A and B are shown apart, each in its own frame.
With several copies, the nearest count.
Chain A
């Protein structure tokens, strides 16, 4: 019995600290020499304990493993807490278009479409609506399409003083170039220094 409660505690600790679902296989591989445990059995016991003690979470079986999740009745509150209320959220498409406008402004819609390889009509109207971009006149090219640039609101939202403060592409490249190794390798290096 004493052993079982220790096993329960270990499984619980793994469930709390592991980002990936906890699996029997991995337990056997890493700590199995000391702990021959039956994960499904222990999970069931833990779930029993959680229900009895009215914990607001339980252990769910997901693709090939187990993980702790909150109970459905708290879903709405958790969602509201995690989605910072009132802050705007942009789709990937909108972010793409915004990035293109930020670095290439002023730029006309056909040019944005060409870079993105997709029509940007809807996205541009969203950005205009949120006042992240604004019209900056017309291009001289055929059809004289509208030109867009980023707005004051854009700068405020991203905490910039001017568009000159945008991270320079070169700086980003430098940042990326400085990563010849994976993070794990870098950590190893740091640890051994």
Chain B
């Protein structure tokens, strides 16, 4: 089956249809619907067999194709279509294909621009040590607790699940020990990023306790939290 090579290349049913059209140099305004439907169904079977991705969108398109095919097979309708007394049942599909094709081409243009831009690395500013007491730009704008939680969640995902379940470790971390842990980072500098804190933590549960400790410190006004954007790392700053 020559589809194998392309299995992961097609973004969806429209993409697949465009592939057939291009490969067979088909006139997009006069698609041989029976043949295309046959090929499409074969491909659909491959997807389903290999369970490669959700086939729902392909199934939907297959039924559209079969519907068009059926309409075109009715002799009376075929005559009417040929005489242009009723609209060609393929029209809506063709317009969808043309529109999709247009955006697909534009996406190639974007890929070219991306390629041109990749060699240039933009200036990156380290918000943790901006130095010179320059405050972070607009950091607090539109930041909510949800942003902070999102950052926490992301860090959490980086740590593998706690050991296996038969091995019950006593949790040595408490809010108090983790508050001390955070404070130890303030010896050298008054700011520390959460990801940096997390670097030395190996267990999820300890990270969770550390996060709670930080929230507790925020509540007590011992530290401030800054974050530049959703899912970004956040910075814990000691309040003097």
Contact = CB atoms under 8 A, between A and B. Distances in A.
Contacts of A119: 54, 57
Given A89-B114, A93-B11, A175-B102, A98 B119 contact: no
B143 A92 contact: yes
Contacts of B31: none
A98 to B, nearest CB: 6
Nearest to A81: B137
A79 interface: yes
Interface in A40-85: 57, 60, 62-63, 67-72, 74-75, 78-79, 82-84
Contacts of A75: 118-121, 132-134
B11 A63 contact: no
A16 to B, nearest CB: 5
B154 A182 contact: yes
Contact of A183 (B95, B106, B125, B145): B95
Interface in B91-120: 91-92, 95-96, 99-100, 102-111, 113-120
B11 A89 contact: no
Contacts of A189: 92
Interface stretch (A1-9, A31-39, A157-165): A157-165
Contact of B114 (A18, A129, A158, A193): A158
A118 B57 contact: yes
Contacts of B108: 95
A118 B17 CA distance: 13
A180 interface: yes
A110 to B, nearest CB: 14
Interface stretch (B21-29, B43-51, B77-85, B224-232): B224-232
Contacts of A15: 123
B107 A179 contact: no
B103 A91 contact: no
Contacts of A90: 111, 114, 140
A182 B118 CA distance: 22
Nearest to B149: A176
Interface residues of A, number: 65
A190 B92 CA distance: 8
Contacts of A11: none
A72 B120 contact: yes
Contacts of A159: 113, 116-117
A179 B95 CA distance: 11
Contacts of B154: 179, 182-183
Contact of B106 (A68, A160, A168): A168
A82 B120 CA distance: 13
A19 B126 contact: yes
Ordered nearest first, which 10 A-B pairs have the shortest CB separation? A118-B12, A17-B121, A82-B137, A69-B120, A117-B14, A95-B107, A19-B124, A99-B106, A69-B131, A167-B109
Interface of A: 13, 15-21, 57, 60, 62-63, 67-72, 74-75, 78-79, 82-84, 87, 89-93, 95-96, 98-100, 102-103, 115-119, 129, 131, 156-160, 166-168, 172, 175-176, 179-183, 186, 189-190, 193
Interface of B: 8-9, 11-15, 54, 57, 61, 91-92, 95-96, 99-100, 102-111, 113-126, 129-138, 140-146, 149-150, 153-154, 157-158, 188-189, 218-219, 224-225, 229, 231
9 contacts: A19-B122, A21-B126, A60-B120, A70-B134, A82-B137, A91-B140, A117-B14, A158-B142, A190-B92
Given A102-B110, A193-B8, 12 more contacts: A62-B129, A67-B126, A67-B129, A72-B119, A89-B118, A99-B104, A117-B61, A117-B96, A118-B11, A158-B113, A159-B113, A159-B116
